Amino acid sequence: MKNRKIRTYKPRDVGQGYAFMSPTLFVLLLFVIAPIFYAIFLSLHKVQLLGGTEFHFRGLENYMKVLEDDKAKIALWNTVKYVVIVVPVQTALALILAATLNAGLKAEKVFRIIYFLPTLTSSAVLTLIFMWMYNQNGIVNEFLKFIGLPTYNWLGDPQVALIAIMIMNIWATAPFFMVIYLAALQDVPDSLYEAAQLDGANVFQRFWHITVPNLRPVTSFVVIMGLIGTFQLFDQSFIFSGGSGGPNNSTLTVVLLIYQYAFKNLGTMGYAAALAFMLALVILVATVIQRKFSKEESMY
């Protein structure tokens, strides 16, 4: 075997490389890495920011307090329900919409624009529009009444308030993931569908045995992005409930609770930082587990 030459870099070249990277490294350090370490520092202290900044070291007391906080348990349960329902539904809906558009419908470009419009709408504006639609005499209840179904107090009933937010978010986020699926579908060879059609496979069989398996890597990406986004639900819940998480804490999420402790309750900034750090760990664990399952499916 020939001896491989080890490439050496001159200090001048290394210095030039780091000089070119320095703006990006500075931004990452200032706005990403430093806030993470500062949040960890806050989570270990009792923080007083008004009337003079004070820090009192508490160790892991802020983390242990979560076990005794009933609002934190409610917020976590609401967030888990939201994630478990919204992520699979929006993923499946996005895949179905993409497969439908990819089937060669007439006026396909028009339907693409119509489907994608909800994604272009501001989250705050979208929430206000749906709150108007969810009104007692709004479009949703009028439609339910027209087809003979019972109406609901979408804004004031704790049993359906979170479901109302779920419907709104599925409608708004599925088109974004639809575009990702639609781009991935262009890489699936037409010969696979033609061969399956010659073998007598119908539309649903071709979709299940060809489309779905070939899009597994994209589905993994969509699910991970969905997990991250749904765990961070805040603005819709905040506007929907006026920042209270009501009615009866039914729309209270972990991020909304962090906001309440950080900016509404004095002296609980450290506890809010602890909640934020624990939420980050939950998102990280959920993402790692999902990636592990997707890799095992690919190997299988």
Radius of gyration of the chain (CA): 25
180-211 pLDDT, tens digit each: 998 898 888 888 888 888 888 888 888 888 88
Both tokens of residue 197?
């059609």
Whether the pLDDT of residue 255 is over 60: the answer is yes
* pLDDT at position 300 over 50: no
Q: Is the pLDDT of residue 67 over 60?
A: yes
Residue 84 has pLDDT above 90, yes or no: yes
Ranges 159-173, 230-244, 260-274: which has the least confidence: 260-274
Q: Is 177 left (phi over 0), alpha (psi -120 to 50) or beta?
A: alpha
Domain regions of the chain by residue span: 11-60, 62-294
Is residue 150 predicted with pLDDT exceeding 80?
yes
- Whether the pLDDT of residue 3 is over 80: the answer is no
Average pLDDT over residues 72-86: 94
Q: What phi and psi values does residue 120 have, to the nearest 5 degrees? A: -80, -15
Amino acid at 244: S
pLDDT beyond 90 at 114: no
How far is Cα 208 from Cα 201, in angstroms, rounded to an integer?
10
What CATH number should be reported for the domain whose range is 62-294?
1.10.3720.10
Question: What is residue 51's predicted lDDT score, i.e. its pLDDT?
Answer: 62
**pLDDT tens digits along 281-290:** 988 888 888 8
User: What's the average model confidence in pLDDT over 259-287?
Assistant: 87
At 73 the pLDDT is 92
Q: Please check the confidence at residue 48 and state whether its pLDDT lies above 90.
A: no
DSSP conformation letters of the chain: -PPPPPP---HHHHHHHHHHHHHHHHHHIIIIIHHHHHHHHHHTEEEE-TTS-EEEE-TTHHHHGGGG-HHHHHHHHHHHHHHHHHHHHHHHHHHHHHHHHTT--TTHHHHHHHHHHHHHS-HHHHHHHHHHHTSTTSHHHHHHHHTTPPP--TTT-TTTHHHHHHHHHHHHHHHHHHHHHHHHHTTS-HHHHHHHHHTT--HHHHIIIIIHHHTHHHHHHHHHHHHHHHHT--HHHHHHHTTS--STTTT--HHHHHHHHHHTSTT-HHHHHHHHHHHHHHHHHHHHHHHHHHHHHHH-
User: 44 pLDDT exceeds 60?
Assistant: yes
Judge whether 245 and 24 are in contact, CB under 8 Å. Answer: no
